[in-house]
Structure 1
Amino acid sequence: MTDTTTRPTGSETDIKGPGYRVWFDLPARTLHFEGVLRLSTSEYKPIEDLLDGVLQASPTLALRMTELQFLNSSGINMLYKFAIAARKKGETEIKVHGSSTIPWQGKSLPNLKKFLPAIVIALD
């Protein structure tokens, strides 16, 4: 994983924990998810806040999940709530980049369309 993007560390746009990282690349309007997310529902709050803040700040957004190896059911529910919030906001363009080689992504990411029909899901 080579990363040359400059961004604040330890801020509300860069969330790190044991085995995972979620960060926002402002110029690319892309939220990156990396590692393994096995948090309890309440532990997802900083990530939920980041998703909400980014959604409120811009109508165009990408979620890059290609390096997220695992997301538990609490995390998947967080994504579904995000999709519902985007639908309620209206006039949003969201693209999710995932990997077809990561089993949970092929099963769960397409379900985002049930909550936000306009979302674009791209599985590499």
Structure 2
Amino acid sequence: MKSLEGDGYRAAYDRERGCVFLEGSLRLNGLTEYAPISALLDEALEGSDRLELNLTRLEFLNSSGIATLSKFVINARNRKTCILTIRGSNAVPWQGKSLNNLKRLMPSLELVLE
């Protein structure tokens, strides 16, 4: 498992399960600071035709983080062969609205809110 940790957050890619986990609170400044997370997402995308992004334990994501996720979803859509599932939580207020907007970028996206 490859992982990144920072102030209040953890990002991990489990290649065996085909799953990326984002946990905690992501409050990085701008796309430049999100570059390592973006690289982890891109690496996961290259490694599989079926990928899950698990956000159930991601309590906060700022606008730069949402832009990073949007870019990732567009990259997945452009691959045309990728089956992408995003798993979120109804208990985390920002996720319902923000994650639903990602389906506009990739209509085939499977969104699971628990």
| TM-score category of the 2 structures, normalised to the smaller one | over 0.9
Q: After superposition, where does 1:73-112 map in structure 2 within 5 Å?
A: 73-112=63-102
Misfit runs of 4+, over 3 Å: none
Runs (5+) with no aligned partner, structure 2: none
Give the TM-score normalised by the residue count of structure 1.
Answer: 0.88
| Corresponding position of 1:118 | 108
| From 29, 32, 44, the counterpart of 2:18 | 29
Residues 76 and 82 in structure 2, CA contact (< 8 A), matched pair in contact too: yes
RMSD: 0.8
Counterpart in 2 of 1:3?
A: none
**Matched-pair identity in %:** 44
- Where does structure 1 lack aligned partners over 5 or more consecutive residues? 1-6, 8-12
For CA contacts below 8 A with separation 6 or more, give which structure has more relative contact order. 2
State the shift of 1:107 in Å: 1.1
- Quote the offset at 1:57 in angstroms: 1.6
**Larger Cα Rg: Structure 1 or Structure 2?**
1
Normalized against structure 2, the TM-score is what?
0.96
